[in-house]
Each structure stands twice: as structure tokens, then as C-alpha cells.
A and B are shown apart, each in its own frame.
Chain A
């Protein structure tokens, strides 16, 4: 398929979709098109939008692509689409989400050990807002629930994948520099997880 045609097809697919359109979905429609080529045409589309002064871009979130308006139009859109304006997350919510995002799957006691405060209410709020989900139970006494982030979480922060999270490298270095035995914050990744 010609690049020009592919570009239009990709644009049409993303335009219609009501949730981020995955690269694999594009490849289902257009046989044997390499991922790199799809990404290339999307880059080209974004460059064209920029040049021609369009009000939107194609954004990569949660493993797919969707059209979103440019930030400079936010003030106009906010006044009309009031219901679309998402409430800001509170400090405790952000802290808890950060811990879950970096350490998932993680239990409530593990989160509370880091934050030093009770986290019940925050977890309920995050579950209600669909930013986290229950990812099973940990095989330790009491079989506590494990929490993990959702695609909604990625979309809320405009991340394409969890790997795009800002890195936490300094943490490990700082802890290594501390007196006393080494503390590994990336521990317990291989726990047995059972689906709930």
C-alpha cells in the first residue's frame, strides 16, 4: 500500500475510534504493514497538523493512538465541556498512585509501610476512578489484595505505556549511599499472583 493511502487509512481509523486505537488493530486492517511504517505515517500526520495549524494532534496513550485537542484550546473547551474536565488528584492519591505504579502489583500494607499512614480511603477513591484495579491476591498470610494500575491510569497522565513513567534511578543510589544494609526498593517482583 502506498504511504499516502496508508496515512489516510490510519487517520480514518483513529478518527472514528472512541478509545485509543492500537497499532495491532491497524495491522489487522492493513495486512503486513510494519509497525515502524505505521508510526512513521502518524508522525507525518502530526507534522501536517502542526504545519496547517489544526486544533488537534494524534496522541499515543495506553498502547494506542487517539486524537486530542492541542493544549492552547483548553480554555475554550473547558468552558463548554465542563463534564470532561477531570478533577485533579489529591496529594495522597498521587503519592499512593506513584507507589502502586512503581511497585505493582503491591498490597495495601506495603503501600502503607512507605507512606506511613492509613491508605484505605485513598485506595477506594482510586478504584472508583478506575485508576487502579485489583490484580489478584498475594500468597502470604491473610492473602491480601494486590493492586495494579489500569489503562485509564496511563490515559490520565498521557502515558503510552507504564515504561514511559519518569524513572526513579536516584532513589536506589540514595538508598545505597545510606549507612546500613542495602535496601532494595524493587524487591518482591516474582511473587506468585493468583487471579481473584
Chain B
């Protein structure tokens, strides 16, 4: 029984680089016929081994054969435009060189990673944005923080409160106004307070949507003092004071 060791290739460019390196081929002068043949042999091997061959591998096979056919044409039989064209391999060579550079960059990142993995430190969110409001420091709450805050509020609401069947007439637009009004009177309020005044599930959802909308247009910010702390809503310090509506 034969044992075949087949390297795993990230993609067609990776496979081509491997073939070039294996035979110590000059990357600027690739013997296209030979490389194409080897490339197709590898694809066959991959097929034999029942590996899924991604479409990209087949596209590259077609590209290689196209280049090969172009190179087979004797110079005098090429049309004038074609004769002026660059080496049919040039485009492929450029792609290979660029890919090779990033492949090498990935390797240097890998060695940086190994070095850093041996250093232990305290946990902390590296990308938390700090904002100052009334001399206190906050960092911005993420969407996930908001959703978990919302689900906590939702879970705490007693079921009985929803027995009444009344068609609610609350709109996101109206809630947006309400929230902005609150922020005219005071610089910040707790997210919880906002939901406490809601009378129904629908209203709570609408309030939540209004919050998201205002955050999207950067009118307000949801901030917290510590991880999993209470979420406060503040005016976005980067935006001019909202005027009374």
C-alpha cells in the first residue's frame, strides 16, 4: 500500500508556490507547461483522496492552461496587439509574489504570536472607548451589553402585567422624542429607568428600538462604569447640545 502525504494548501496560489519551491523554479521564468501538468496531477490526487476541491482551484487550472496555450503560439502568428502584450505569465507572477509576501508576513505574525502567548497579564477589554461625562469616566457599552440589559429588564417584568389586550399606539419616532426630552433636563439617566416607565412589552421593544436608532445617528451613547455594570444613557459629548423639540 502506498502512503501519500499530501500537504494542505490554503488555495491555488499556495499550491503553485509549493510546486515552484519544490523544483527550485525561478518565479520570474516559470516553465508553464511543466507547472500546469504538475498542478493538474495534484488536483487529480486530491480528487482521488476525496478531498473537496474548491472552485478556485479549478479556475486556476483554467488560467494556467490559458497561459500555456498563449505561450505555445509562435511569435509571428500572434496578432499585432498580442505581440505587444506583456509576457502572458506576468499577471500570474505578480499575484504569486504578492501572495508570497503576505504568506511570509503571516509567518512572522505567527512567531510574534508564539512569543506573546507565553506572557500572561490581567484581562481587560482593549477596545473599550472611554468617555467623560460630568467628570466621571465611562466606557461605551457594546450592543451585547445592551441586549443583555434589555433581556434582564424583560425577564423581571411580571407576567400579569400583560394580560390586558389593548392596541398600543407607540411609535419609535415618539420614543426618540421622549428620550431626547429626558436628556434636555438631565445629562444622563439609567437605562433601567427608561424601561420602568414602559407599560407593555411592545412599548419596551419600541423604546429599545428608539435607543438603537439614536445611537446609530450618534445622538446618544450607552456607557457603563465597569464591565457588566449598570448602563447609563448620556448625550454624545461629540455632538452639539440637543435643542428643545
Contact = CB atoms under 8 A, between A and B. Distances in A.
A180 B91 contact: yes
A179 B85 CA distance: 12
A177 B90 CA distance: 11
Contact of A118 (B54, B108, B115): B54
Interface stretch (B41-49, B124-132, B171-179, B196-204): B124-132
B123 A180 contact: no
Interface stretch (B5-13, B75-83, B182-190, B206-214): B5-13
The secondary-structure label for the interface of chain B is helix
Interface string B151-185: 00000000000000000000000000000000000
Interface stretch (B65-73, B93-101, B228-236): B93-101
Q: Is the interface of A mostly helix, strand, loop or mixed?
A: mixed
B106 A97 contact: yes
A133 to B, nearest CB: 7
A47 interface: no
B193 interface: no
Contacts of B128: 19
Nearest to A77: B120
B134 interface: no
Interface residues of B, number: 45
Contacts of A175: 94, 97-98
A18 B112 contact: no
A176 to B, nearest CB: 10
Given A19-B125, A91-B10, A158-B119, A178 B105 contact: no
Contacts of A179: 28, 86-87, 90, 93
Given A18-B122, A175-B94, 14 more contacts: A17-B124, A59-B121, A71-B118, A74-B118, A114-B102, A115-B102, A116-B99, A117-B56, A151-B126, A168-B105, A178-B90, A180-B91, A181-B86, A183-B94
Interface of B: 10-14, 28, 54, 56, 60, 86-87, 90-91, 93-95, 97-99, 101-103, 105-110, 112-128
9 contacts: A19-B128, A62-B126, A71-B115, A81-B120, A88-B117, A151-B126, A152-B127, A157-B113, A168-B105
